[in-house]
Amino acid sequence: MPDADAPPYRYNAALAADIEARWQARWDADGLYETPNPLGQLASDRGLDGPKLFVMDMFPYPSGSGLHVGHPLGYIATDVYVRFKRMAGFNVLYTMGFDAFGLPAEEHARQTGQHPRINTESNIDNMRRQLDRLGLGHDQRRGVATTDVDYYRWTQWIFLQIFNSWFDPDARRARPIAELMEEFSTAARSTPDGRAWDDLSEAEQRELVDGHRLAYVADAPVNWCPALGTVLANEEVTTQGRSERGNHEVFKRPLKQWMMRITAYADRLLEDLDRLDWPESVKTMQRNWIGRSEGALISFPASTSPDGPMSDIEVFTTRPDTLFGTTYMVLAPEHPLVEELTAEAWPSGTPDSWTGGAATPSEAVAAYRARASEMSDADRSDSKSGVFLGAHATVPFTESQTVPVFVADYVLMGYGTGAVMGVPGEDQRDREFAEAYGLPVVRTVQPPPDHPADLAYTGEGPSINSRFLDGLDVEASKALILERLQAAGFGRSTVNYRMRDWLFSRQRYWGEPIPIVHDEHGPVALPEDRLPVELPELVDWAPRALARDSEPEPPLGRVTEWVDVELDLGGGSRRYRRELNTMPQWAGSCWYYLRYLDPRNDDHLVDPDVERYWMADPEPSGVGGVDLYVGGVEHAVLHLLYARFWHKVLYDLGYVSGPEPFKRLINQGYIQAYAFKDGRGIYVPADEVDGSLREGFAHDGQPVTRELGKMGKSLKNSVTPDDMYASYGADTLRMYEMFMGPIDQDRPWETRSVVGSQRVLQRVWRNVVDEETGELRVIDDGPDDELLRLLHRTIDGVSSDMEGMRFNTAIAKLTELNNELTKRGSGAPREVADAMIRMLAPLVPHFAEELWSRLHGSDAGSVTQTEFPVADPALLVTDTVEVPVQVNGKLRGRVTLPADAGEEAAVSAALAEPNVAAHVDGRELRKKLYVPGRMITLVV
RNA sequence: GCCCGGAUGGCGGAACAGGCAGACGCAGCGGACUCAAAAUCCGCCGCCCGCGAGGGUGUGAGGGUUCGAAUCCCUCUCCGGGCACCA
């Protein structure tokens, strides 16, 4: 490093460190980034200036391993944008919290014996230190951690609101459960079996009401992971049927679990996507996740013998028009009708391939089910297999068309009704099954002549072999068959969703306790004044790695003195057993944006007026919510869908002013980094590799190969912000990250390029400050006309780039302006320096503060509180323009024209240009065109 | 298999509404300053032909629309991401 004999006032890492520390201390002392609320504890007598803006990053999990340079990319981008908007006159709410419950802290605690809270808090401190060094303009008073008791008290409060609500399908919204009970008790709504409310026992009343709640207990097949000692949500299990964390084995077990009725909101979650300013890819992922499909429910009477008792097999299908192509039926292995429809013995003539080699249907079914339960969903998907139950079903509208009933694992219990009608002519999966078991194939839609005979046909065409549907196209056939099915009582149209209800409970310690106690009839909500339900201190808190065949057991069950409580919840003191499950990590992140608004409010989750000020949409048709939310695309579905769901419930119950939490979403790209492997395929530390793409890369003299990947320990290619602070300073790091490319794009990190951003800042510095003396180099003469016009074009371009978050091009324009100053070599004219420093302030705030105070004196105040420069429109228009000339589509020259020149004048000027004239060469002009200021086109 | 993105110099990227392709930065080359080096400043920098003026060619490939296409349309290739027996 050449710093030893560098000029004393050069802007380098040492000076940057000094400047950054000094200004950060002053910002803190002045509370510069504290944002006032219209009322309440965070109100300020300085009042609310300008329109509001709420900008937010997805808050981080405070991991123990610290940050690499990829982590703060989004935070820097929002900070630059927020600073720009503040200078443009907005009252901006911008802060940062921590998503601190969850598995990693508990896993760490399990290995070290240290309580998760201690580890979590030290991680938060460390992460704060690394982030603070970047100079982010957060309102520090508003940050929350989901593990704060004052915070999770309100997470529990929201749970109670959800528990105490039901979804009214007629009103299409949540309503208080008390209103449902009122309707039952006044007979405005009848009970399922028609008895009067008062004739139901307490147990019956409770069961009826509990079955309507938005949070409910259900016996669900869950993913039990003994190695982690917990139940996992479907989305935490990989497609290989292992745990996403740790890659452990996962088994299906039935268990009483808390569920959230998100499916009730499926249509609203789907519809409102159209009103959001989100990346199209994220909306598409959510649409696919919800998976709405319109179809029909159809009942097939089935029995194990022609004169035996009948059971109805109900199927869901999107193609009711293909009903008459049904040649068999399939039940999922877990389907409840499998027992009833398993015959005593194989009917005569049953092919051997249908029996699975078993002596009786029940043996075959038992063996098949046992095998299916052992297999992961991925293994199940490979080939079509199944066994015959010995039963037959009758196709509706036919007396005689009976078809065999199979159990097969290509039908999933979790989708539709867990049963399908097998139509091998029109569905390729059914076709494959039919071929494996020698079942007949009947086409019900006429395929085009070139359609292969051995493939199902899923396209359009007239119905055939379908009785009264023959000749109708697919859509008309669907309509008619539905009408007939409905009239005959065999079925009806319905809408099915891929999305399931949200499995909400976890058998963990380090999560929010669910504020519920149980009596002999089931769950009872704790009253709000009993919140928070604090996590008990637990000495033996560690989850236990359990045997494969173990049953799920929550750690809280070990705190016996906590589990059993005596409470008076009205009607006298009695004993209850506490809920032992805790909430999933998603819970705390579902609503943190609301607490940012009013973090110290002890009476409300958020004051309604404060909520309205920050969240209500200025457009009457708008959805409201956070104005800009920035984060990784990995949260495209789960976090964003769960948060939308909770927000809609709170909206229905009147606690928030709009239907959506996040109005605009941007996914920042990832910073990737090159990783290097030696001849053995082992990664070598990337910072020890020499060479280039052309001459090849080497480590310790041995050739290595290069690949691009995620930054991290495993690829040995991490670069930490601390390294960059030490070599260049935080402002250079900020500028480099913003200069690398558009915010939403992945990009490879290249440490050797960072110096370019530092050199740009050094050139700016030199145009304002003398490196040798530290004196100002600014000149008091006004800029000449050319420079003044360049300045205003820069102001204009930088403003719109900042507004559009195109910080890379904003930096390029500022660099051009500064390069022009450097070229002149005389120090910056004061007016230009002033504007340039203000334009730099959002990007490199410490650097700009330092130059600002040198330019205007130490009591000039913060540059961040000045106005962003505004371009003078008069200086953006020019008298003359240089216009390119095309002849027959090829560029042949340029001419300078008055800006208001007409086509005739432009064309004659073009023809006067020698090179243009040479190419026209006296030939006839067939076409002439002048796009003012842009292009002259001649065709000869 | 289906659904989204994307492909521009040696590299990251720019061209915002169909109008000068390659802004800005990195790397590279040349020059000034220096005893020398570093730093800094000035210049060059897609490819081919040409001393030059200039010409040809060029935005993954092929075709189309247009006076004019990186940009719009069709076909294809490759890369990244998501979903995946969803009836």
The pLDDT tens digits for A722-756 are: 999 999 999 999 999 999 999 998 888 999 899 99
pLDDT digits (tens, 9 = 90+) for A621-630: 889 999 999 9
* pLDDT tier for residue A239 given thresholds of 50, 70 and 90: low
Q: Give distance CA A889 / C1' B62 (Å).
A: 22
Q: Is the CB of A416 under 7 A from strand B?
A: yes
Q: What is the pLDDT of residue A376?
A: 54
Q: Among A19-33, A228-242, A521-535, A572-586, whose mean pLDDT is lowest?
A: A228-242
Q: Is the CB of A900 under 7 A from strand B?
A: no
Q: Is the CB of A894 under 7 A from strand B?
A: yes
Phi, psi of A526 (to 5 degrees): -75, 145
Nucleotide nearest A762, from its CA to each C1': B40
Nucleotide nearest A771, from its CA to each C1': B40
Rounded to an integer, what distance in angstroms lies between the CA atom of residue A344 and that of residue A363? Answer: 10
Grouping H, G, I as helix, E, B as strand and the rest as coil, residue A77 is helix
Q: Is the CB of A797 under 7 A from strand B?
A: yes
Q: Give distance CA A825 / C1' B63 (Å).
A: 53
Phi, psi of A447 (to 5 degrees): -80, 160
Residue A187 burial (C-beta neighbours within 10 Å; 0-12, 13-18, 19+): exposed
Residue A2 has pLDDT above 70, yes or no: no
**From its phi and psi, is residue A416 left (phi > 0), alpha (psi between -120 and 50) or beta?**
left
pLDDT digits (tens, 9 = 90+) for A406-415: 999 889 888 8
| Amino acid identity, position A689 | V
Q: Is the CB of A429 under 7 A from strand B?
A: yes
| Domains of chain A with CATH codes | 1-28+765-875 (1.10.730.10), 167-288+501-584 (2.170.220.10), 293-496 (3.90.740.10), 679-719 (no CATH), 878-939 (3.10.20.590)
Q: What is the pLDDT of residue A382?
A: 59
Rounded to an integer, what distance in angstroms lies between the CA atom of residue A893 and that of residue A895? Answer: 7
Q: Give distance CA A599 / C1' B20 (Å).
A: 55
Rounded to an integer, what distance in angstroms lies between the CA atom of residue A827 and that of residue A201? Answer: 89
Pick the more confident residue, A73 or A538.
A73
Q: What is the pLDDT of residue A458?
A: 86
Task: Give rounded-to-5 percent helix, strand, coil for chain A.
Answer: 40, 20, 40
Q: What percent of chain A has pLDDT over 90?
A: 60
Q: What is the pLDDT of residue A704?
A: 80
Q: What is the pLDDT of residue A1?
A: 41
Kindly give the interhelix angle for A73-87 and A730-739, rounded to the nearest 10 degrees.
100
Rounded to an integer, what distance in angstroms lies between the CA atom of residue A895 and that of residue A916? Answer: 10
Rounded to an integer, what distance in angstroms lies between the CA atom of residue A417 and that of residue A751? Answer: 56
What value does the mean pLDDT take over residues A390-410?
A: 91
Residue nearest to nucleotide B66 (CA to C1'): A889
Q: Give distance CA A806 / C1' B65 (Å).
A: 32
Interface residues 601-620 of A with strand B (CB < 7 Å): none
Q: Among A334-338, A443-447, A451-455, whose mean pLDDT is lowest?
A: A451-455
Q: Give distance CA A217 / C1' B2 (Å).
A: 36
Residue nearest to nucleotide B37 (CA to C1'): A2
Q: Which of A65-69, A148-152, A452-456, A715-719 has the highest mean pLDDT?
A: A148-152
pLDDT digits (tens, 9 = 90+) for A775-822: 999 998 888 999 999 999 999 999 999 999 999 999 999 999 999 999
Cβ neighbour number for residue A469 with a 10 Å cutoff = 25
Residue nearest to nucleotide B24 (CA to C1'): A812
Q: Is the CB of A320 under 7 A from strand B?
A: no
Nucleotide nearest A429, from its CA to each C1': B85
Q: Average pLDDT over chain A, rounded to whole?
A: 89
Q: Is the CB of A420 under 7 A from strand B?
A: yes
Q: Is the CB of A672 under 7 A from strand B?
A: no
In order, the DSSP letters of A596-664 are HHSTT-SS-SS-HHHHHHHHS-SSTT---SBSEEEE-GGGTTHHHHHHHHHHHHHHHTTSSSSS-SBSB
Interface residues 530-569 of A with strand B (CB < 7 Å): none
Q: Which residue has the tokens 């309100």?
A: A154
- DSSP code at position A688: G
Cβ neighbour number for residue A454 with a 10 Å cutoff = 8
Instruction: Report the side by side order of strands in the sheet with A522-525.
Output: A522-525, A516-519, A573-578, A564-568
* C-beta of residue A51 within 8 angstroms of C-beta of residue A38: no
Q: Which residue has the tokens 């999560």?
A: A511
pLDDT digits (tens, 9 = 90+) for A78-115: 999 999 999 999 999 999 999 999 888 887 877 788 88
Interface residues 166-225 of A with strand B (CB < 7 Å): none
- Alpha carbon separation from A164 to A160, A259, A526 (Å, rounded): 6, 14, 11
Q: Give distance CA A812 / C1' B14 (Å).
A: 9
Phi, psi of A561 (to 5 degrees): -70, -20
Q: Is the CB of A5 under 7 A from strand B?
A: yes
Q: Is the CB of A929 under 7 A from strand B?
A: yes
Q: Give distance CA A186 / C1' B62 (Å).
A: 74
The neighbouring-strand residues paired with A706 are A676
Q: What is the pLDDT of residue A710?
A: 81
Which distant-in-sequence residues (6+ apart) come within 8 Å of A928 by Cβ?
A903, A907, A936, A937, A938, A939
Interface residues 848-867 of A with strand B (CB < 7 Å): none
| Amino acid identity, position A276 | L
Nucleotides of B under 7 A from a protein CB: 3-5, 10-16, 19-21, 23-27, 37-43, 54-57, 67-69, 80-87
Nucleotide nearest A766, from its CA to each C1': B40
Q: Give distance CA A772 / C1' B36 (Å).
A: 23
SS3 track for A561-583: HHHEEEEECCCCEEEEEECCCEC
CA atoms within 13 A on the CB side of A584: 21
Length of chain A: 940
* C-beta of residue A844 within 8 angstroms of C-beta of residue A735: yes
* C-beta of residue A837 within 8 angstroms of C-beta of residue A855: yes
Element (H, E) at A803: helix A785-803
Q: What is the pLDDT of residue A543?
A: 55
* C-beta of residue A322 within 8 angstroms of C-beta of residue A445: yes
* C-beta of residue A303 within 8 angstroms of C-beta of residue A372: no
- DSSP code at position A506: B
What value does the mean pLDDT take over residues A236-242?
A: 69
Q: What is the pLDDT of residue A324?
A: 94
Q: Which residue has the tokens 């949070």?
A: A215
Residue A437 has pLDDT above 50, yes or no: yes
Rounded to an integer, what distance in angstroms lies between the CA atom of residue A595 and that of residue A604? Answer: 10
Q: Give distance CA A903 / C1' B55 (Å).
A: 29
* C-beta of residue A311 within 8 angstroms of C-beta of residue A336: no
Residue nearest to nucleotide B25 (CA to C1'): A756
Interface residues 692-711 of A with strand B (CB < 7 Å): 692-694
Give long-range contacts, CB 8 A cutoff, 24+ apart: A888-896. Answer: A888/A919, A888/A938, A888/A939, A888/A940, A889/A937, A890/A919, A892/A916, A892/A919, A895/A936
| Amino acid identity, position A492 | R
Nucleotide nearest A285, from its CA to each C1': B82
Q: Is the CB of A763 under 7 A from strand B?
A: yes
Q: Give distance CA A752 / C1' B27 (Å).
A: 10
Rounded to an integer, what distance in angstroms lies between the CA atom of residue A486 and that of residue A464? Answer: 22
Q: Among A78-82, A142-146, A708-712, whose mean pLDDT is lowest?
A: A708-712
Q: Is the CB of A377 under 7 A from strand B?
A: yes
Rounded to an integer, what distance in angstroms lies between the CA atom of residue A431 and that of residue A282? Answer: 34
Q: Give distance CA A879 / C1' B57 (Å).
A: 36
Q: Give distance CA A672 / C1' B80 (Å).
A: 13
Residue A172 has pLDDT above 90, yes or no: yes
Residue A938 burial (C-beta neighbours within 10 Å; 0-12, 13-18, 19+): buried
Nucleotide nearest A753, from its CA to each C1': B26
Q: Is the CB of A240 under 7 A from strand B?
A: no
Q: Is the CB of A436 under 7 A from strand B?
A: no
Q: What is the pLDDT of residue A105?
A: 84
| Amino acid identity, position A453 | A
Q: What is the pLDDT of residue A217?
A: 94
Q: Is the CB of A806 under 7 A from strand B?
A: yes
Nucleotide nearest A10, from its CA to each C1': B39
Rounded to an integer, what distance in angstroms lies between the CA atom of residue A854 and that of residue A841? Answer: 14
Q: Give distance CA A712 / C1' B38 (Å).
A: 34
Residue A336 burial (C-beta neighbours within 10 Å; 0-12, 13-18, 19+): exposed
Q: What is the pLDDT of residue A697?
A: 76
Interface residues 20-49 of A with strand B (CB < 7 Å): none
Nucleotide nearest A382, from its CA to each C1': B85
Grouping H, G, I as helix, E, B as strand and the rest as coil, residue A289 is helix
Buried b (16+ CB within 10 A) or exposed e, A376-392: beeebeeebbbbbbbbb
Residue A56 has pLDDT above 80, yes or no: yes
